Amino acid sequence: MPEPRLFVPVRMGAYGSSLRLFRTASGKRTAVAFSSPVRLAKVLGTRQQWVQLTEPALRDMLTDLDVIGIVIDPAGTMSRITRGAA
């Protein structure tokens, strides 16, 4: 049985795409992936670009990036805290 495909957010640049990484609440870098493009759009918006990868392929891409893991189907993202806002 083939590996299921995950929908992984990317940033598009002038010469290609790169994985979009996030931070956990404790500040550690992590990757996120989604089981469907609909779930991805609900969390990151409809304009977020993505690629399809298997979990092993995504893990291989993360090997040397100091990433603690992959969160699949996260419920949401946190906004950056602005210091001094009242």
Q: Where are the domains of the chain?
A: 5-72
Handedness of CA 26, 38, 72, 22 (dihedral sign): negative
Beta bridge partners of 11: 18
pLDDT in tens, 11-35: 999 999 999 999 988 999 999 999 9
Give strand pairing partners of 21: 31
Q: Using the 8-state DSSP alphabet, how is residue 79 labeled?
A: P
67's CB contacts (< 8 A; 6+ apart) are 21, 29, 30, 31
| Amino acid symbol at 50 | W
Mean pLDDT score of the chain? 89
pLDDT values of the chain reduced to their tens digit, one per residue, 86 residues: 788 999 999 999 999 999 999 998 899 999 999 999 999 999 999 999 999 999 999 999 999 999 999 999 998 665 555 555 55
pTM of the model: 0.82
